[in-house]
Amino acid sequence: MESSNIRLAVIPGDGIGTEVVAEGLKVLNAVGVKAETSEYDLGARRYHASGETLPDAVLDELRGYDAILLGAVGDPSVPPGVLERDLLLRLRFELDHYVNLRPVKLFPGVATPLGEAGPEDIDMVVVREGTEGPYAGAGGVLRRGTPHEIATQESLNTAYGVERVVRYAFEKALSRPRRKLTLVHKTNVLTYAGDLWARTVDRLSLEFPEVETDYCHVDAASMFFVTQPARFDVIVTDNLFGDILTDLGAAVAGGIGLAASGNVNPARTAPSMFEPVHGSAPDIAGQGKADPTATILSVAMLLDHLGLTEAAGRVEQAVADDLLERQTAWTPRTTREIGDDIAARVAG
């Protein structure tokens, strides 16, 4: 992308979603990127008002943007699964976000629950598959509510889907100093899917001789996230394992308030969507208590995806500087104050 005039769809969502997105946009503005933004009211509010989750017409409109910024959606008043399946996951599937990109990086100055780990130990990127696996929604139920009920849940994996995300992960690994790619799966139990993933990594490794590859069962990986996070550089994994590992990763890298993510369509057949890993946190909504940092880092990922590398770098650096200062500044700031401070750093 040559121009820096981007067309951005914004889905603030529910709860703290609206609060953190406001700060993300503030920083986007401060970094000098010209963005034409349109807001979309999707989430619990709309669901209650109209019963709609993601109308087809809205989905079609969204396809026309360069990127999407999402805050968070969800509220306990909505039946569980509805917004997840019909809005969040539908966006990922319809817009073919086959890479769910989640950096797990401990910034200097940030406290981690791990007593002995420092920034040099926790610096990885999880490339989570985003469009298949156990998230396909396949499965069924028979004799619901009876003693004879059975419920199934099917993981669907295709050579097409696995190859493209593994290829992306190899390229990502190649772009990083360590050039290490770890496949995380459970090949000894999920033998059909695991075999496809493992063979795909083996095959593509021939195209990327500079990248060192490694394999780790998901149970062992979850242990190593805590005991030896430095083992990992780039991880490629299935949709569900990636979901679990990236929340764990957020925890070890300073908490969910800092974890950014991109739902990326690397083929660019549809806009990619960037969002904090955290949810709508109804318990603290409207109180200015939410940390907008995860959203601001998601904005940096968005800029990077659009080729605005310099702007992305400036946002990330401003966040890094702000985080370093939090260590000593013990006055807690509001959502807006954190946004203001980071925006000021970016601008100045």
Ligand X SMILES: CC(C)[C@H](C(=O)O)[C@@H](O)C(=O)O
- Indicate which residues carry an active-site annotation: 135, 186, 219, 243, 247
Least spacing, CB of residue 215 vs a copy of itself, in Å: 9
Per-residue tokens: 331: 């006055």
Q: How far apart are CA 319 and CA 325, in angstroms?
A: 10
Closer residue to ligand X, CB minimum distance, 188 or 269: 188
Residue number with the smallest Cβ distance to ligand X: 84
Least spacing, CB of residue 43 vs a copy of itself, in Å: 14
The residue behind tokens 């996070």 is 229
Give every CB contact of residue 15 below 8 A, 6+ residues apart in sequence.
72, 74, 75, 279, 280, 281, 282, 285
Closer residue to a copy of itself, CB minimum distance, 71 or 229: 229
Instruction: With beta carbons less than 8 A apart as the criterion, state whether 236 and 127 touch.
Output: yes
Pick the binder of ligand X from 41, 60, 154, 219 (CB under 6 A).
219
Residues engaged in binding a copy of itself (CB under 8 A): 80-81, 84-85, 89, 112-117, 134-135, 137, 139-141, 143-160, 163, 186-196, 199, 218-220, 222-227, 240, 243-248, 250-252, 255-256
Q: Has 105 been labeled as part of a binding site?
A: no
Pick the binder of ligand X from 142, 150, 189, 267 (CB under 6 A).
189
Helix axes 293-305, 335-347, angle to 10 degrees: 40
Parallel/antiparallel/unpaired status of strands 180-185 and 234-237: parallel
Q: How far apart are CA 82 and CA 137, in angstroms?
A: 12
Closer residue to a copy of itself, CB minimum distance, 10 or 125: 125
Q: Has 286 been labeled as part of a binding site?
A: yes
DSSP symbols for 60-72: HHHTTSSEEEEEE
Pick the binder of ligand X from 9, 88, 173, 184 (CB under 6 A).
88
Q: How far apart are CA 198 and CA 178, in angstroms?
A: 21
Least spacing, CB of residue 2 vs a copy of itself, in Å: 34
Stretch that binds ligand X, among 81-89, 171-179, 282-290, 292-300 (CB under 6 A): 81-89
Give every CB contact of residue 113 below 8 A, 6+ residues apart in sequence.
251, 252
Annotated binding residues for NAD(+) = 279-291
Question: Which positions lie near ligand X, rule CB under 6 A?
Answer: 84, 88-89, 188-189, 219, 243, 277
